[in-house]
Amino acid sequence: MKQLMTTLATLTLLSACGGSPSSTTNDLLVRNSPLPTDQYDMANGCYGLKSVASNAFVRNNGNNYVADGEAPSQGEAFFMKAALLGQQMFYGTDTQLLTATGGGVNATTEITKDAVWNVEYHDDKEAYSFVSDTQDQSLIVANDGSLQLGTAANDNHLFQFAKTDKACVPFPEMPVAASGQTYKGQGIDKPVIGFAETHSHPGSTHEMIYPDGSTEVGVAGGSVYGAPFHPLGVTHALGNCEQSHGPDGTRDPGNIVRVTPAGSHDTQGWPTYIDWPDIDQYTHNAIYYRWMERAYLAGLRIFVSYGHNYQPLCEVGAIHQGAPDSDCNDHTLTIKMNEYTKVMQDYVDAQSGGPGKGWFRIVYSPAEAREVINDGKLAVILGMEGGELFECGIEFLPDGTGVPACDEDLLRANIQEAYDMGVRQVVPIHNIDNAFSGGSIVGSAHASSDALNLLNFWATNAFYKTVDCPDGGTEGYLVIGGGTLTGVPTSNDPATQILTDALPPQVPTYPNGVRQCNARKITPLGELALTTLMDKGIMISLDHTPMLNKETVLDLAERYDPPYPVVSGHGAQGGIQIKTAKRLLKAGGYYYPYKWDGAHHVEFMDIVRDIYDEAASEDASNMVPFGFGFGMDANGFGGHNPPRPNPEQLVEYPFTLFEGDDWGPRFDHIDPIVFDRISIPDGRTWDTEIDGSVHYGMVADFVEEIRLEGGAQALDDFYNSAEAYLQVWEKAYKGD
């Protein structure tokens, strides 16, 4: 039966005509869609348009539109592209859009806001009216049959959709390159099957600074160029980055933190993507909603969406791009980013036919997450990450005294604000010192550790205070701690020059080649922040907490009975000793690594499974079942992994998930899904064996790598990671 389903799915991949919230859409020509029944569900459909007043069909008349066709065959066939909920664009067979201007209604090929129409359904007439979103006037049929802007009267503003035998041309969109229906759960009380991605940043592409200081929803730009969606589509979400990175990318603030600094790049995005997204470029959006949809079809069921900002980098980028008054406050921006993620949910709903119909569902409790996943959708958890969260930065005086930017009352108020808007997971300590703790020193002997030290000085008026990292203790490291610091990096890059121009006459020196850990401990205000988060039931990630301070966080967690579970969602940045990892697991937390290639993922999974088994042999009373997800840290300045080195078996396209000997009995109820390369017509094609994990669309390919490298055991552990995550959350959750 599964072999038959695979054959059918492959044929569907080659001949699909549209789709649904759980299958590929927009990849090929669309025709003869079911008629809509409200102002939402015409999205991605193909229709003719008929005037109620004249009973005539609308056709393209060259530079404008007229309603004079007697039959559907004489009218235009419009592909309907949702902009936001209740808003649509009409895309004709000649790639022209029905567009409102100050002078009327025109047919134009340029995709602008003037092509967006607010839709209202009139149940009594079984008809629709359309009001220009920019001109605030109704689309009407004039006495001569032409479509114009005007005042509604005598049904001149009412239209009906009609079936058409013409083939619509789909609106430009990123291919999902997958075919098949995703799976649902087998009951709300049954374990979840799916994998968890526990650390990425769809919103940070949107809310970081813009050249004009704007933070309008859907505007693409800023330190991180691009957006996970845009009301006007992919050509605006992932277009040309010159507007934010300057000619040839010369104003890209990412040059500060790149491992291999570079002063320029080709700015062209859609459809060719010559230089970006790239493994070594951190300031181009790596999350687009269609790329996420591909991962969701592959079994992504938990996604932790961190609102994220890095205040010093944002401030330097703002100065560099001529917008020094931009909002760069970590707390306010991470709140805004989470609000933006809610808009993203609405956008996915709009593409799927209406409120609540999309596959991207924000959840606020583990019980709600189980309901969403059982319904076959993706549970999205809101988080916050930043160097100065809750407005709790720090400034060091010349004598070394640290002056916190917040007090206890402001800290409690801001944590409550975050909880009230839906935040359920937090990284309270990052790579710069704040009022809670010293920051985590990361990296090896390359410019990134030194660049972070520069940013630390910018933010706090002090460089890292360090000690030699310990040797890992009797059991050693799971992730090696700290980083080597070589001094102050020099660069001709203009953004880096802003930092170096602000340096004092004397700069510190560090032991040559000796890994350094931050010597600043967790403060009393930091202890209050951590226990307040625990009391609220907000999950705390140890990632970025300096290695020497991770033990202190666990000390606080173990004061609770049972211990409060703390987690590591993307590889315990800053380092973690094996003894600390065992404590984390025994307290009921999870440890998921950074997203590597499939070979390194399986190799590291085996190591962590052994540590898990050792911890369980000592005390398993609070532990959750073993699962092994990942944190890609997409848009988080962590970089992305190259292809597997010298693989024994290459990923062969198209490949099929959920079918074959490696997919055990737990997957028997799941129908196969076929995945091909993501290939834009007349544009870029991505192949995991060539490109690695340059963007989120490569997650499905990563799953196939895991299968090739680890077989049934690796797949079982990977697809158990969503269930493990939920059980950890259930231990932490306090209710409302």
Output the average pLDDT for the chain. 89
Angle between helical axes of 699-719 and 289-297 (0-180°, round to 10): 40
569 contact partners, CB below 8 Å, separation of at least 6: 198, 199, 304, 425, 541, 543, 590, 592, 631
User: Mean pLDDT across the stretch 626-641?
Assistant: 88
Given pLDDT bands bounded at 50, 70 and 90, which one contains residue 493? low
Can you give the pLDDT at residue 492? 65
Can you give the pLDDT at residue 126? 94
Can you give the pLDDT at residue 262? 57
Can you give the pLDDT at residue 551? 95
Q: Is 213 exposed, middle or buried (0-12, 13-18, 19+ CB in 10 A)?
A: middle
Given pLDDT bands bounded at 50, 70 and 90, which one contains residue 470? confident
Domains and CATH numbers, the chain: 29-168 (2.80.10.50), 195-641+720-732 (3.20.20)
pTM score of the predicted model: 0.93
Can you give the pLDDT at residue 731? 97
Can you give the pLDDT at residue 90? 98
Residue 234's φ and ψ, nearest 5 degrees, are: -65, -30
What are the pLDDT digits (tens) for 481-492? 888 888 776 666
Given pLDDT bands bounded at 50, 70 and 90, which one contains residue 471? confident
Can you give the pLDDT at residue 263? 67
| Interstrand relation of 178-179 and 673-675 (parallel, antiparallel or unpaired) | antiparallel
Least confident of 52-56, 246-250, 471-475, 518-522: 471-475
104 contact partners, CB below 8 Å, separation of at least 6: 64, 148, 149
DSSP character at residue 606: H
pLDDT at 705 over 90: yes
Rounded Cα–Cα distance for residues 736 and 725 (Å): 20
Can you give the pLDDT at residue 23? 38
pLDDT at 62 over 50: yes
User: For the CA atoms of the chain, what is the radius of gyration?
Assistant: 27
What are the pLDDT digits (tens) for 636-675? 877 788 999 999 999 999 999 999 999 999 999 999 999 9
Which percentage of the chain shows pLDDT scores above 90?
71
Angle between helical axes of 578-586 and 547-557 (0-180°, round to 10): 20
In angstroms, the Cα distances linking 26 to 46, 84, 174 are 11, 17, 8
What are the pLDDT digits (tens) for 374-427? 999 999 999 999 999 999 999 999 999 999 999 999 999 999 999 999 999 999
pLDDT at 25 over 80: no
pLDDT at 143 over 90: yes
What are the pLDDT digits (tens) for 318-377? 787 677 777 888 998 899 889 989 999 999 999 999 999 999 999 999 999 999 999 999
Rounded Cα–Cα distance for residues 145 and 69 (Å): 10
What are the pLDDT digits (tens) for 106-133? 999 999 999 999 999 999 999 999 999 9
Q: Is 185 helix (H, G, I), strand (E, B) or coil?
A: coil
